[in-house]
Structures are given as C-alpha cells and as structure tokens.
C-alpha cells in the first residue's frame, strides 16, 4: 500500500491567543509599563502618561507604524519577530500589547490610522480605520 506524504503546519486556536493575552497581563501596572516600553522601542523622544479613575493614556511621538501593511504585519500578528534593523530595546515577539488589551478597551493612533481593540467584549478582532 502506497500513501502520500503531505507537509503540514501547526495552527493555533484563537482561544489559546486570548488565554495567553489574559494570563500574560498580570497587573494593570505591568500593562502600562509595557505601553511605555513600546514607546521607548518606537524611539519616542518623550512619553506622556495621563491617569484618571476611568482610563490611562500613553502618548508619544515615536516612529509608529509607517503604513497599513506594517499594521497588518506587526500589530495584527502576535509573535511576529522583530527585525534586527529595528533596534528594539525591549520588544521580542510583539506580544506585549496584549497586556494592555487584557485590561479594557484600547484605541491606538499611528499616522493616519486608528485601531480599536476590545478583546474582553468583542474577541480577537480590531477595527482599523483610516482617518
């Protein structure tokens, strides 16, 4: 009996990613620290943090995402390795933003793009809007 061999790739169920995001988060303080580390990795000259009882805002003028394609590759895909040319101080696997996602609604602005994320109510999707 002769069979055929097929090369297959393992896949990840969406529940595993959501569980990883929620377990990695730990504390809100750790999530905020991750946001500041993202600003540093984006080579922001300064980072402004505003805290109120209802929300936290982390604002910087870092490099951000240069294009829609960069958002699809680097924001949308968890675990996308960094290229050495990016000279990241902290980032390794593009997982850290999930720590912020776990604690509530997130709105990200970069260039002319706005990304809205709410994994707790809407699951593992996000709205991408060109402004």
Q: What is the Cα–Cα distance from 120 to 103, expressed in whole angstroms? A: 8
Q: In whole angstroms, what separates CA 1 from the centre of its chain?
A: 49
Contact 69, 57 (CB under 8 A): no
How would you write the pLDDT of the chain (131 residues) with one tens digit per residue? 678 999 988 888 888 988 888 888 788 998 899 899 999 989 999 999 999 999 999 999 999 999 999 999 989 988 877 777 777 777 666 788 888 998 999 999 999 999 999 999 998 899 999 99
Q: What is the Cα–Cα distance from 131 to 128, expressed in whole angstroms? A: 10
């Amino acid at each position: 009996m002769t069979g055929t061999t097929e090369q297959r790739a393992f896949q990840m169920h969406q529940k595993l990613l959501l569980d990883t995001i929620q377990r990695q988060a730990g504390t809100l303080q750790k999530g905020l620290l991750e946001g500041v580390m993202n600003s540093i990795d984006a080579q922001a000259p300064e980072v402004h943090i505003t805290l109120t009882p209802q929300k936290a805002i982390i604002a910087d003028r870092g490099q951000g995402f240069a294009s829609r394609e960069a958002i699809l590759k680097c924001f949308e895909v968890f675990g996308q390795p960094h290229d050495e040319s990016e000279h990241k101080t902290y980032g390794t696997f593009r997982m850290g933003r999930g720590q912020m996602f776990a604690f509530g609604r997130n709105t990200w602005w970069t260039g002319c793009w706005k990304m809205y994320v709410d994994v707790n109510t809407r699951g593992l999707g996000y709205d991408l809007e060109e402004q």
